Amino acid sequence: MAEHDHGAGDRFGPDFWDERYRSASRIWSGEPNPQLVAEISGRPPGRALDVGSGEGADAIWLARQGWAVVAADISGVALERAAQHARDTGPAVLDRIEWRQVDLLASPPEPDSFDLVSAQFMQLPPEPRTRLFTALIASVKAGGTLLVVGHHPSDLTTGVARPPMPEVFYSPDDIAALLDNSWTVEVSEARPRPAKTPDGAEATVHDSVLVATRRAAAGTPP
C-alpha cells in the first residue's frame, strides 16, 4: 500500500510518510489491491505479512478471509488510521490483525514465519530493494506464498503520474532472480490494467506481478 514514490527529501523514512498521511484524511482508495484479491482469493488462510500496510485495506481484506495478519508499516500515523478502520469492521477482523510499526530494512521479519508475504508497490532503489526482498523471501515458510506487485518500468512512458525515478521501477523477473531452487514461480508477468493520465485521458499501465511458492522439503508434513 505504501508506495515509496512521492515528494522529496527522505522519502523512504517515517517522517516523510507520517507527514504524507497527515496531509489528507485518506491517501489510498480504501479497497484492497486488485492483484492481492486476484491471486490470494480461495487460498487456505494462515499467517500473513502485509508489507507497507498503509491505511489497512489489504490487512482488513486478508483478515476477512480468515488470515492472521501482521500489518507492518514505517508510519505510525498510517497504522493508527488503519487500526481505526479495522475497529470499524468489528472484533472478528480486528482480533486477527497485529499492527507493527517497523522499518523492515532495519529490522527484517523473522525467517520461516509466514504462510503468505504480500508486498504491494514497495518502490525502492535497487540496493535497498534487493535487501528488503531477500529478507521477505527468507520469511516465507516452506509451502508458503510470496506475492510481489510493483510498478513496471513501462509505466514511465504511459503519461500516467509516476515518479521521475526510473531506478525504483522493476520487472517481476528482477524479483524472481532473487529466488533459489526451493521456489516454484506460479506467475511472473507485466499485468495490464486501465488508468488515467493527469489530464483524464485513458491509458494502460502494467503491474509487475510475481507469485511464487516455496516448496516443502521432502518428508515435511503438510
- Burial group, residue 151, by CB count within 10 angstroms (0-12, 13-18, 19+): buried
What is the C-alpha to C-alpha distance for residues 82 and 76, in angstroms, rounded to an integer? 10
Q: Would you say the C-alpha torsion 87, 93, 98, 102 has a positive or negative sign? A: negative
210 bridge partner residues:
148, 188
The x, y and z cell numbers of residue 91, run together, are: 472484533
Non-local (6+) Cβ contacts of 113 within 8 A are: 47, 49, 139, 141
Percentage of the chain lying above the pLDDT 70 cut: 91
**Model pLDDT, residue 25:** 74
| 80-95 pLDDT tens trace | 999 999 999 999 899 9
Q: Is the pLDDT confidence value at 1 over 90?
A: no
**Model pLDDT, residue 3:** 42
Q: What is the mean pLDDT of the chain?
A: 90
Question: DSSP secondary structure string, 84-112?
Answer: HHHHHH-HHHHTTEEEEE--TTTSPPPTT
Q: What is the CATH number of domain 14-135+149-214?
A: 3.40.50.150
194 bridge partner residues:
204
27-36, 97-106, 152-161, 181-190: range with lowest mean pLDDT? 27-36
**Model pLDDT, residue 140:** 98
Per the CB < 8 A criterion, the answer to whether 65 and 40 are in contact is: yes
The x, y and z cell numbers of residue 126, run together, are: 535497487
185 bridge partner residues:
212
| 171-198 pLDDT tens trace | 999 999 999 999 999 999 999 999 999 9
Confidence of residue 214 (pLDDT cuts 50, 70, 90): very high
Domain boundaries, the chain: 14-135+149-214
Q: How far apart are the first and last CA of the chain?
A: 31
Q: Is the pLDDT confidence value at 131 over 80?
A: yes
| 30-87 pLDDT tens trace | 689 999 999 999 999 999 999 999 999 999 999 999 999 999 999 999 999 999 999 9
Per the CB < 8 A criterion, the answer to whether 134 and 153 are in contact is: no
3-12, 44-53, 166-175: range with lowest mean pLDDT? 3-12
Q: Is the pLDDT confidence value at 9 over 80?
A: no
**Model pLDDT, residue 30:** 65
Per the CB < 8 A criterion, the answer to whether 182 and 144 are in contact is: no
